[in-house]
Amino acid sequence: MAKIPTMFSLRHLLVLSLALNVSLVLRIVYESEQGCKLFWLKKLIGTSMAGDDSERETHIVQRARLSVSNFSTRSGDHEGGERVINLDHGDPTMYEIFWRQMGDKTTITIPGWQSMSYFSDITNICWFLEPEFAKEVVRLHKVVGNAVTEGRYIVVGTGSSQLFLAALYALSPHDAAQPKSVVSAAPYYSSYPSMTDYQKSGLYRWAGDAQSFDKDEPYIELVTSPNNPDGYVRRSVVNRTEGALVHDLAYYWPQYTPISSPADHELMLFTVSKSTGHAGMRIGWALVKDQEVAKKMTKFIELNTIGVSKDSQLRAANVLKAVSDSCGREGSFEEGESFFNFGHNVLAERWKQLRAAVQQSGMFSLPNFSPAFCTFFSQVLEAQPAFVWLKCEQGIEDCESFLRRHKILTRGGKHFGVTPDYVRISMLDRDENFNLFINRLKAIEG
């Protein structure tokens, strides 16, 4: 019989056995704690579950599971401790709660044989545009009333970022002696300069702040409305005959700003990342009035990625359909509150908390927005943007660095073409991070 190697001595086996037993005991304790948390959450909501239909019960159980998950994450770290909160990006995880409540209503199954061809509709200028997605885009704009779709060509892209580059390609003459100037009024979206100049194209180049552009030559002006980062409604500022306009309307949805009328511009960009919160889906769309521009944008995407994922388009169509469907329902959250009601209510409460925290601290200032009538909600409302454009007061020159010392990551004003006493802060993070941000802001005093 072969001897046991010396590395597996009796002492080693005893130590190994003890370690395994301790690990098992710890796991049993952990699972018992999680089961206890779920038990007490069910006890708290048990009376409301009695006699309800199965769909309502499913919603409540889903909410309980989410609460357990959040509780587990926070346990042992009531005040966030030394954890850094990253609010630099506009990652729209705030919307997770709504889509969890929707359950399987936006779930789709794609068989292995489906979506195998490059082509979606060869009769369409944008030949990779899925007809179902195009139909839901038109329907959603009609429900919300935020954009004219009649007489427009729809071009789908891998997010609005690809569509932005496609628009620059389509609006720049390919035989010009020099690159076309691209401008936007400061504070402008921080990625515009880098995206424009990244490939060092001979067709276009970043030319800075539209308010100081004085060259007598053709240009492209980017108009972001509501604006990222400050949330204000924007109009073009250069206004010359040789200019072309690209309207980035990623935030022109009723949870962020009052819808005054349907936008009616030559070229408009939208994205599901900010309209529904599905940033990871990487789907955007352009509404284009000029046929030749739509053709050139399609050609750019064809050369760039040979179309756009059909699977993502099909999922996006299902999500947009769910949003439109929800706008026909009324009632409490569990009973089917509309998507835009949910987003509006969450942001309204967050902005209320933010303004109170800023007032308490006395170290910062916020923009003020004039109320306007919203045709979607049929009432006068204030804007409540997806980002905070925060200014540090009391002589603080570098607001980004100042907040970083308080373990809050933001994006400084220099990235947006303005002074560094401003920062942009996302309002779209999960409740846990937002609440921690508010608490830390309150604690900062002059």
Please give the full DSSP string across 195-211, using - where no structure is assigned: HHHTT--SSEEEEEEGG
Give the three-state DSSP class for 150: coil
DSSP symbols for 346-409: HHHHHHHHHHHHHHHH-SEE------EEETTTTEEE----SEEEEEE-TT-S-HHHHHHTTTEE
Burial 338-358 (b: 16+ CB within 10 A, else e): bbbbbbbebbeebbebbeebb
Q: How far is CA 36 from CA 42, 44, 76, 329, in A?
A: 10, 12, 17, 36
> Which alpha helices (DSSP H) does 102-158 contain, by range?
131-144
pLDDT value of position 337: 84
* Contact by Cβ (8 Å): 310, 130: yes
Q: What is the pLDDT of residues 338-397, one digit of tens each?
A: 999 999 999 999 999 999 999 999 999 999 999 999 999 999 999 999 999 999 999 999
pLDDT tens readout for residues 46-100: 333 333 443 433 333 344 334 333 433 343 344 567 899 999 999 999 999 999 9
pLDDT at res. 81: 72
Tell me what pLDDT residue 119 has.
97
pLDDT band at 39 (very low <50, low <70, confident <90, very high): very low
pLDDT band at 164 (very low <50, low <70, confident <90, very high): very high
- pLDDT value at 34 more than 90: no
Tokens 């993502």, residue located: 312
Output the CA torsion sign for 350, 355, 358, 360.
negative
For tokens 């704009």, the residue is 141
pLDDT over 80 (residue 38): no
- The model's confidence at residue 1, banded by pLDDT at 50, 70 and 90, is very low
Task: For residue 80, give the 3-state DSSP assignment.
Answer: coil
Q: Mean of the per-residue pLDDT values for the chain?
A: 86
Do 214 and 181 meet the contact criterion of CB atoms below 8 Å apart?
no
Q: Taking a C-beta distance cutoff of 8 angstroms, is the pair 204, 300 a contact?
A: no
Residue pair 45/57 in contact (Cβ under 8 Å)? The answer is: no
Q: Of 4-8, 64-68, 226-230, 285-289, which range is least confident?
A: 64-68
Q: Global pTM? A: 0.81
Q: What is the rounded average pLDDT of the residues 120-126?
A: 97
Mean per-residue pLDDT, 166-173: 97
Q: How far apart are CA 76 and CA 78, in angstroms?
A: 6
State the pLDDT at residue 440: 95
300 touches 292 (CB < 8 A):
no
Strand locations in 54-146 (E): 85-86
